[in-house]
Structure 1
Amino acid sequence: MEKMNKAMEKMKMLVGIEVEQEEELQSSNMSSFIDDFNRECTLSTQQRLYGFATCLVSGLACTLLSMLVFFNPIKFGITFTFGNLLALGSTAFLIGPKRQVTMMLDPVRIYATAIYIASMIIALFCALYVHNKLLTLLAIILEFGALVWYALSYIPFARSMVSKVMVACFDTEF
């Protein structure tokens, strides 16, 4: 029974329910606005899963629907970027927005996060304001590469492995 309780506590931590931290905050009386907001806006596990599934399915649908307008880079850039934002936001339902931002700003993936967010902003800027199809297409390629690199930052040793494979594939010395 004790093992089952520990497993449930670990599962709650993975989903973002942090009971121990809430008790510590209440006892220390040192709470910030974000902590107060998180305590007031708690979601049940079922609500978190529904929110995750809804955002993820919507994001994937936008990303897949963007393929229909692939030859119009401006519309493609908008729908593809919006799909990426929805898919990225879906994980905030599982682990919570505060933990999501903390993980994104982790020293291991801070550069990948910055490049990914900057590439989304550049793609939207090129699509909405510049209206240049070539620049929008280049920004989408940059965004896709940044998305892959950002996703690889969550898999241990994945980025170093991909880097070594790319160097081996494109090595010009014999």
Structure 2
Amino acid sequence: MDALTRLHRSLAGGDEEELAEDSILGDTEDLCSLSPLQRIYAFAACLVAGLALMILSFIVFARPIKFAVMFTFGNILAVGSTAFVMGPQKQLRMMFDPVRLYATAIYVGCVVLALIFALWIHDKLLTLIAIICEICALFWYSLSYIPFARRMVSDLMVKFCDTEL
């Protein structure tokens, strides 16, 4: 097994025995003709473009509507970049796994609301609230990939917010 295949499998998650049975490459082979190296490049390019959009959006923070559009599209690019590594079918399966279902639904809902508030309603306050909720939902969604991270954050928040001494 070459180094690129090991990198691809480590980015996609799982151990080698599990991946041998359920190939991650199989999900993307049917949909595109990109080689594994090209998929890694596409992943990196999408991720960098998304992160760049999110960072550049802070330049126009004084204009919440432009900020929301740039930030949200950057966020979508960054999250969607993993589809190049693991394939869109596996990514959707993982996103809608029962453990992540509520976080995914809230994240997608906040993305849609942020764009509606920014592009159609033109309400700066609602747009900023939707962006803050989008960030929190993405954070909570991301924690679901780290074992016990959600429980640890929940316990910390309870201890932090507990008023009894």
TM value normalised by structure 1: 0.80
Q: CA deviation at 1:10?
A: 6.0
Paired residues, number:
157
1:69 aligns with 2:68: no
The match for 2:85 is 94
Partner Cα separation in structure 1 for residue 49 and residue 8 of structure 2: 25
Unmatched segments (≥5 aa) in structure 2:
13-18
Partner Cα separation in structure 2 for residue 133 and residue 57 of structure 1: 27
Q: CA deviation at 1:39?
A: 2.1
Alpha-carbon distance change, 142 to 39 in structure 1, aligned in 2, over 3 angstroms? same
Instruction: Report 1:7-22 matches (<5 A).
Output: 13-14=9-10
The match for 1:56 is 47
| Percent of aligned positions that are identical | 55
The match for 2:36 is 45
Q: CA deviation at 1:7?
A: 8.9
Which has more radius of gyration? Answer: 1
1:106 alignment partner, one of 94, 97, 112 = 97
Alpha-carbon distance change, 40 to 99 in structure 1, aligned in 2, over 3 angstroms? closer
> Which residue identity lines up with residue 89 of structure 1 in the other structure?
G
1:156 aligns with 2:130: no
> Which residue identity lines up with residue 123 of structure 1 in the other structure?
A
1:169 aligns with 2:150: no
The answer to whether the 8 A contact 1:15-1:45 is kept is no
> Which residue identity lines up with residue 87 of structure 2 in the other structure?
G
Q: CA deviation at 1:42?
A: 3.8
Alpha-carbon distance change, 13 to 118 in structure 1, aligned in 2, over 3 angstroms? same
The answer to whether the 8 A contact 1:14-1:95 is kept is no
Q: CA deviation at 1:136?
A: 0.7
Q: CA deviation at 1:172?
A: 1.4
The alignment's C-alpha RMSD in Å is: 2.5
Partner Cα separation in structure 2 for residue 92 and residue 112 of structure 1: 18
Unmatched segments (≥5 aa) in structure 1:
26-34
Partner Cα separation in structure 2 for residue 70 and residue 8 of structure 1: 39
